[in-house]
Amino acid sequence: MGPEGYTFGYSAAAVALMAFRTAESHAAFLLRELKPQMSLLDVGCGPGTITLGLARAVHPGTVVGIELDLEQTRHVAEQAHDEGLDLSFARGDVYDLPYSDDSFDAVFLSAVVGNLRHPIDGFRELYRVLRPGGLIGVKEFDHGGNLAFPEPEHIKRVNELANRLRLRNGHDPDSGRKVSSYLDAAGFARIRAKATFENLPPAPGIQGSPLMESIVREEWGPKFVELGWATQQEIDQWIEQSAAHVRSGTEFTALAWVEALAFKPTG
């Protein structure tokens, strides 16, 4: 368990999946607002592939990626060093950031809000470290808005159980739609939010792909079995059926996200 009951447990496959994300693919809405020399904090940066693109955008500015599970960032840290970017990674918790007030020009977080049991407290801490007039960019899933067709029973079941697991871990699968209200509650102003979709597969197959299969095999499946929600035989069948479903090439899957920008008031 991490802070606030956050449960670690991303499999290598899940981290590999996140590592397909780039600033261009997942933070274009923020990239447009960034300028060289800015200082930026990326909280819950995961493997740091998005952070890398943000560091390129503000170069020679300073970027810090904060993670509870810092091991994921090793590869990107080496790449940033090779490129001469001022990008560093540190272990840290969104509820208690190791920075003084008004430290950064911009703050970013992607796919983190849904992991937080007390999102407004997290946003208040981000507000504290942002300078007056500074910008926050938030990208967040909203699994209740996902599109899938056809959606065979086994995929429906895996998705249902994945949401049940998220809720059990204190995570919120529908957090995207709530981001604006959290930003408002934490004191941010000029909030602009919109929903977007990410069509899968963007990388060599995700839904039903070898990577998605690995996540079910290594991460979700064992937890479903441990909790008595499924048998190992069912998990094996689902993985097999997913591979066949993807081979049919007819499925349409899109993940719903919310992208929000807001500012810390100056007055």
Ligand X SMILES: C[S@@+](CC[C@H](N)C(=O)[O-])C[C@H]1O[C@@H](n2cnc3c(N)ncnc32)[C@H](O)[C@@H]1O
Of 62, 115, 207, 209, which lies in the binding site for ligand X, with binding defined by CB under 6 A? Answer: 115
Which residues from 6-45 bind ligand X, rule CB under 6 A? 6, 18, 21, 43-45
Contacts of 248 (CB under 8 A, 6+ apart): none
Retrieve residue 172's tokens. 């919120």
Of 34, 58, 112, 230, which lies in the binding site for ligand X, with binding defined by CB under 6 A? Answer: 112
Helix boundaries (H) for 70-209: 74-83, 119-129, 153-168, 179-185
Compare residues 175 and 209 and give the one whose CB is closer to ligand X: 175
Contacts of 131 (CB under 8 A, 6+ apart): 102, 103, 104, 105, 264
Binding mask 54-93 for ligand X (x = CB under 6 A): ------------xxxx-----------------------x
Say if residue 235 is exposed, middle or buried (CB neighbours under 10 Å; 0-12, 13-18, 19+). buried
Compare residues 119 and 251 and give the one whose CB is closer to ligand X: 119
Contacts of 152 (CB under 8 A, 6+ apart): 241, 245
Of 34, 41, 94, 230, which lies in the binding site for ligand X, with binding defined by CB under 6 A? Answer: 94
CA–CA gap between residue 85 and residue 71 (Å, rounded): 19
- 175 touches ligand X (CB under 6 A): no
**Cβ 44 to ligand X, closest distance in Å?**
3
Give residues in contact with ligand X (CB under 6 A): 3, 6, 18, 21, 43-46, 50, 66-69, 93-95, 110-112, 115
